[in-house]
């Protein structure tokens, strides 16, 4: 088989590594990819939002399966463009990807179908939102409706902060059009867990759990990022919680989407908060998490292509997902200054230390080739993942491996995975 992957981050590198393990695959392409993905796939210089050019490439190269890694093209309807051309593609249609594309949609869906989540109000008018904030309880959470690279969420401790936040989202359009509509929701406390799943429109199969660290600095301080590190499994996500989630969240979500005429085929990523009143949904995503994929996929025993084909064909009920009985920790190496402003183009050295290792991986996120050298090309540069029999050992190994890699402005959090050692 020939497989095309659309995207260029650490998640797409993790997907490419999983695809490479499949006995069904002869050749991998990635558009546009990065320097690391380029070592196992042929890079195609087409941007993820150029749907027609990508579909034309898939037709001309006789691609058997295209996997969409990123949220933007999914929400923009790339799957519909591919399907119209009779191409096989893994990911939700535009109608289904709205689960991630609009927080107002997903909140209304959860309310309509009784899926546990924070209480909320939706606003399209700034003055109405400001009036609501006058009498609200604090802390409170403001969310830009649309996609904002995981950064469109503001947690406001008091009224003044919330008023400034609402003005920046809806007035100054800090997150662009994503902020034309804003959700204001109840602040929840508890452990966060990320649960990824495969869906075929009717059946859902849950992958092993993970936990992300979204804030930029140690101690969960600083601005929200796309994610600074992950570990898997989450020891807080017990079998009992999994059963509650299956009954109250996972199955109802898939059924709700089908009932709404938005049957979901692809990955649903459940961002959950384990509150004292039970698990509640923080957010849905319509794709693998980044850097969740970097700890979940290396632990998966199944052939990823086999699972994806069953999703497309609506036969996922024939598949049992299996994961290694081990643990993984991923530490993101970022450019200092991320997510606000940072320099690019710094040479990266030490990557050879990962060659031929089966217990440590270096997933490339923001990297590029320049004059025959690998250089930094983004905020999140690399994801260093280590596998071991349990989390503590995996964490130690991952941090040791971060020392192998050198580049100017290298920044990482030092407390990834501390939670499970408390």
Binding residues for ligand GLY (CB under 6 A): 150, 212, 226-227, 285, 289-290, 292
With vertex at residue 92, the alpha carbon angle to CA 250 and CA 253, rounded to the nearest 5 degrees, is 20
Hey, what are 186's tokens? 């109840």
Euclidean distance between CA atoms 208 and 206, whole angstroms: 7
Euclidean distance between CA atoms 274 and 280, whole angstroms: 6
CA distances from 74 to 49, 278, 286, 301, 332 (A): 9, 31, 8, 26, 25
Phi, psi of 82 (to 5 degrees): -65, -45
Q: Is omega for the bond preceding 339 within 30 degrees of 0, making it cis?
A: yes
| Comparison of 147 and 162: residue with beta carbon closer to ligand GLY | 147
The owner of tokens 């070592």 is 39
H-type alpha helices, 205-320: 239-245, 251-259, 293-296, 304-313
The answer to whether 187 contacts ligand AMP (rule: CB under 6 A) is yes
The answer to whether 316 contacts ligand AMP (rule: CB under 6 A) is no
Q: Are 193 and 209 in contact (CB under 8 A)?
A: yes
| Comparison of 130 and 155: residue with beta carbon closer to ligand AMP | 155
CB of 159 to ligand GLY, least distance (A): 29
| Comparison of 143 and 205: residue with beta carbon closer to ligand AMP | 143
| Comparison of 30 and 293: residue with beta carbon closer to ligand GLY | 293
Single out the segment in contact with ligand AMP by CB under 6 A; choices: 31-39, 55-63, 181-189, 289-297: 181-189
Interface with ligand AMP (CB under 6 A), residue from 15, 75, 78, 141: 141
The answer to whether 299 contacts ligand AMP (rule: CB under 6 A) is no
CA-based nearest residue to 361, from 27, 3, 21: 21
CB of 154 to ligand GLY, least distance (A): 16
Q: At what angle do helices 94-101 and 251-259 cross, to 10 degrees?
A: 130
The answer to whether 153 contacts ligand AMP (rule: CB under 6 A) is yes
Q: Are 279 and 115 in contact (CB under 8 A)?
A: no
Phi, psi of 18 (to 5 degrees): -65, -40
Integer Rg of the chain from CA: 21
Euclidean distance between CA atoms 73 and 76, whole angstroms: 5
Interface with ligand AMP (CB under 6 A), residue from 46, 109, 118, 381: 118
β-pairing verdict for 204-212 and 229-232 = antiparallel
Q: Which residue is nearest to ligand AMP (CB)?
A: 283
CB of 262 to ligand GLY, least distance (A): 20
Size of the site for ligand AMP (CB under 6 A): 15
Interface with ligand AMP (CB under 6 A), residue from 150, 226, 233, 289: 150
The answer to whether 296 contacts ligand AMP (rule: CB under 6 A) is no
Single out the segment in contact with ligand AMP by CB under 6 A; choices: 59-67, 149-157, 336-344, 378-386: 149-157
Select the binding partner of residue 227 from ligand GLY, ligand AMP, none (C-beta < 5 to 8 A, by kind). ligand GLY
The answer to whether 138 contacts ligand AMP (rule: CB under 6 A) is no
Interface with ligand AMP (CB under 6 A), residue from 18, 19, 184, 188: 188
The answer to whether 72 contacts ligand AMP (rule: CB under 6 A) is no
Select the binding partner of residue 108 from ligand GLY, ligand AMP, none (C-beta < 5 to 8 A, by kind). none
The answer to whether 242 contacts ligand AMP (rule: CB under 6 A) is no
Select the binding partner of residue 183 from ligand GLY, ligand AMP, none (C-beta < 5 to 8 A, by kind). none
Consecutive H or E run containing 53: helix 51-60
Euclidean distance between CA atoms 54 and 131, whole angstroms: 46
CB of 175 to ligand AMP, least distance (A): 11
| Comparison of 71 and 200: residue with beta carbon closer to ligand GLY | 71
Q: Are 284 and 270 in contact (CB under 8 A)?
A: yes
* Footprint on this chain of ligand AMP (rule: CB under 6 A): 118, 141, 150, 153, 155, 185-188, 192, 214, 224, 271, 282-283
């Amino acid at each position: 088989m020939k497989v095309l992957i659309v995207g260029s981050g650490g998640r797409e590198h993790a997907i490419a590594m999983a695809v490479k393990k499949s006995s069904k695959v002869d050749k991998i392409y990635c558009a546009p990819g990065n320097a690391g993905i380029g070592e196992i796939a042929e890079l195609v210089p087409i941007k993820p939002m150029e749907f027609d050019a990508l579909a034309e490439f898939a037709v001309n190269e006789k691609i058997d399966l295209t996997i969409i890694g990123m949220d933007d093209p999914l929400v923009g309807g790339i799957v519909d463009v591919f399907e119209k051309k009779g191409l096989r593609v893994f990911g939700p249609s535009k109608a289904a990807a709205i689960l991630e594309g609009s927080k107002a949609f997903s909140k209304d869906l959860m309310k309509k179908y009784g899926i546990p989540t924070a209480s909320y109000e939706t606003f399209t008018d700034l003055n109405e939102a400001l009036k609501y904030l006058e009498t609200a309880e604090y802390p409170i959470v403001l969310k830009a409706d649309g996609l904002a690279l995981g950064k469109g969420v503001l947690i406001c401790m008091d009224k003044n902060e919330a008023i400034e936040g609402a003005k920046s989202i809806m007035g100054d359009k800090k997150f662009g059009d994503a902020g034309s509509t804003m959700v204001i929701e109840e602040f929840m406390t508890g452990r966060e867990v990320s649960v990824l799943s495969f869906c075929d429109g009717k059946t859902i199969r849950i992958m092993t759990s993970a936990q992300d660290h979204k804030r930029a600095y140690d101690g969960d301080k600083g601005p929200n990022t796309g994610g600074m590190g992950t570990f898997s499994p989450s020891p807080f996500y017990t079998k009992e919680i999994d059963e509650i989630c299956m009954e109250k969240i996972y199955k109802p979500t898939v059924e709700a989407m089908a009932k709404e005429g938005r049957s979901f085929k692809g990955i649903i990523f459940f961002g959950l908060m384990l509150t004292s009143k039970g698990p509640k949904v923080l957010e849905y995503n319509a794709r693998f998490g980044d850097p969740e994929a970097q700890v979940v996929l290396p632990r998966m025993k199944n052939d990823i292509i086999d699972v994806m084909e069953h999703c497309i064909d609506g036969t996922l009920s024939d598949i049992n997902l299996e994961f290694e009985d081990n643990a993984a920790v991923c530490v993101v190496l970022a450019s200092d200054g991320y997510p606000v402003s940072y320099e690019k183009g710094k040479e990266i050295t030490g990557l050879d230390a990962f060659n031929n290792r089966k217990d440590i991986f270096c997933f490339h996120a923001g990297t590029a080739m320049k004059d025959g050298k690998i250089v930094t090309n983004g905020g999140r540069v690399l994801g260093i993942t280590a596998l071991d029999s349990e989390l503590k050992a995996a964490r130690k190994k991952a941090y040791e491996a971060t020392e192998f890699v050198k580049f100017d402005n290298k920044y990482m959090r030092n407390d990834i995975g501390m939670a499970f050692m408390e």
